[in-house]
Amino acid sequence: VEFLYCDLASMKSIRQFVQRFKAKNCPLHVLVNNAGVMLVPERKTEDGFEEHFGLNYLGHFLLTNLLLDTLRQSGTHSHNARIITVSSATHYVGKLHLSDLQSRCSYSPHGAYAQSKLALVLFTYQLQHLLTANGSHVTANVVDPGVVNTELYKHVFWVVKVAKWMTAWLFFKTPEEGASTTIYAAVSPEMEGVGGCYLYNEERTKSADVAYDEELQRRLWTESCKMAGISDESSRVP
């Protein structure tokens, strides 16, 4: 195992990480996008993005796009490279505000978090569309790990923390249990060549209706390319 540092809240750090990784000339068969913050107070990344949107979504968007060429080179007809992005059931209540992705008009930690998780689902579906259109041997799927007992809840109200402490053993998954669907998406033979799915408890399920809005998927992708400073591949795909 070799560790390479990457701060998903920093565009500079992501680009440096990709440069270091590519210098090793290693294949890339599985990419899991699983960094995140939840319900943090209003604050920005070093690039000026609202933290939920910048870290949870835009960092993964840039990282994935910068590694796409390596993923395409690594995938084969019989063994596709796989991209797994971790979202949340919170995306079901999320609303994507294309005119205010940074939540500047009215900041809500819950709203910003839900928006970032919805953006990840929209991103995955659009990514799979582009991969299919280009004939790439790469698949993209999105995972809901469920309610998992981790440090992600450190910014919730103290009453919720107490309730979590008292009931976690009954209602929360362990980190190992929470990782099971991600691992399933990454290595299961059943998922070979299968992309564009929303997975929960190792089963394909339906995401929020709005996530299937292809026009919204394209518009978010285009806006994300502008924010991340990369070319918009979707403009060349019908």
Containing 221, the helix (H) or strand (E) segment is helix 214-228
pLDDT at residue 179 in the model: 86
pLDDT at residue 75 in the model: 98
pLDDT at residue 174 in the model: 74
Q: Which residues are catalytic?
A: 113
Query: Where is pLDDT greater, at 151 or 24?
Result: 24
Range list of β-strands (E), 28-90: 30-33, 81-86
Query: Which residues are CB-contacts of 140 (< 8 A; sequence separation ≥ 6)?
Result: 82, 83, 84, 85, 124, 127, 128, 131, 195, 196
pLDDT at residue 142 in the model: 98
**Paired strand residues for 143:** 86, 199
- At residue 169, does pLDDT exceed 90? no
**Which fold is adopted by the domain 11-233?**
Rossmann fold (3.40.50)
Query: Where is pLDDT greater, at 23 or 173?
Result: 23
List the domain boundaries for the chain. 11-233
Cα–Cα distance, 110 to 65 (Å, whole number): 27
Q: Averaged over 93-122, what is the pLDDT?
A: 94
Cα–Cα distance, 194 to 95 (Å, whole number): 27
